[in-house]
């Protein structure tokens, strides 16, 4: 495994926190890095100690936090290595101490793709992406893939890539990214546009 940074925009970055959704994201990201011929960087972020209540964490040092971050990143990198199969891309294990969203967004500055797992607990939350995934999609500086389910779905013949468009600049970017994923996988690209019908009489005749 490589321990050096890849060239600008020549890597896929994935967040791993030890959860099943993030493991699925690592597997999906490893495949994407493989088919794109890019390096894969697995980031595991450990939050710093709180400024209050540290009496319950006596003896925990910054070095301990960094070691925990390194262990988590290495665990994620091993998952990636097992998922990529033949033609495995270089895998970079990067353990960091800080806020997870901030560290993932930092990684997106020089990435071709940022991948995160969807988080949720309970009937309602399971339909929503987690706070880290949501914030990453809002603030990232590159395309973001939020992976749901394990094993993660993989585009292929008979399993199309679907993208929604609304004419905005962001939807055009999504369309281009989806087209690239579909082309590399030999999958059909399904483009979906929707229109919300106006309330009766508002804009039609007689309004």
Q: Domain spans of the chain?
A: 11-154, 155-207
Lookup: tokens for 87: 């033609």
**Residue 5: its pLDDT value, please?**
43
* List of the chain residues with pLDDT < 70: 1-9, 51-58, 84-87, 120-129, 198-207
**Residue 179: its pLDDT value, please?**
95
Mean model confidence pLDDT for the chain: 83
**Residue 199: its pLDDT value, please?**
63
Whether the full predicted model's pTM is greater than 0.85, yes or no, is no
**Residue 126: its pLDDT value, please?**
43
Closest-CA residue to 11 (of 32, 105, 153, 176): 32
Class of domain 11-154: alpha beta
Q: Where in 160-200 does DSSP place strands (E)?
A: 161-164, 189-192
Backbone angles phi, psi at 114, to 5 degrees: -110, 130
66 in Cβ contact with 97 (< 8 Å): yes
**Residue 16: its pLDDT value, please?**
96
Cα separation, 25 vs 175, whole angstroms:
21
* 17-70 pLDDT tens trace: 999 989 999 999 998 999 899 999 999 999 987 755 555 566 778 899 999 999
**CA separation (Å) from 88 to 25, 39, 49?**
16, 9, 36
- What 3-state DSSP class applies to 92? strand
The string of DSSP codes covering 38-83 is -EEEEEEEEPPPPSS-GGGGTT--HHHHHHHHHHHHHHHHHHHHHH
Cα separation, 133 vs 131, whole angstroms:
6
- HSE (CB half, 13 Å, CA atoms) of 146? 17
**Residue 203: its pLDDT value, please?**
54
**Residue 198: its pLDDT value, please?**
65
Backbone angles phi, psi at 117, to 5 degrees: -90, 150
Which residues are CB-contacts of 124 (< 8 A; sequence separation ≥ 6)?
Answer: none
116: which DSSP letter? Answer: E
């Amino acid at each position: 495994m490589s321990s050096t940074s890849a060239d600008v925009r020549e890597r896929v970055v994935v967040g791993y926190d030890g959860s099943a959704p993030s493991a699925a994201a690592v597997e999906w990201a490893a495949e994407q890095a493989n088919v794109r011929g890019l390096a894969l960087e697995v980031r595991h972020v450990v939050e710093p100690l709180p400024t209050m209540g540290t009496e319950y964490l006596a003896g925990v040092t910054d070095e301990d936090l960094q070691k925990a971050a390194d262990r988590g990143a290495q665990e994620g990198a091993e998952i990636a290595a097992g998922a990529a199969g033949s033609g495995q891309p270089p895998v970079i294990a990067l353990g960091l101490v800080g806020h997870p969203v901030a560290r993932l967004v930092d990684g997106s500055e020089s990435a071709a793709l940022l991948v995160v797992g969807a988080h949720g607990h309970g009937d309602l939350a399971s339909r929503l992406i987690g706070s880290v995934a949501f914030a990453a999609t809002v603030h990232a500086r590159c395309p973001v893939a939020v992976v749901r389910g394990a094993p993660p779905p993989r585009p292929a013949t008979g399993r199309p890539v679907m993208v929604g468009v609304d004419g905005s600049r962001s939807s055009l970017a999504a369309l281009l990214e989806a087209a690239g994923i579909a082309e590399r996988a030999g999958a059909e690209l399904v483009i979906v546009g929707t229109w919300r019908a106006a309330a009766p009489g508002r804009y039609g005749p007689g309004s």
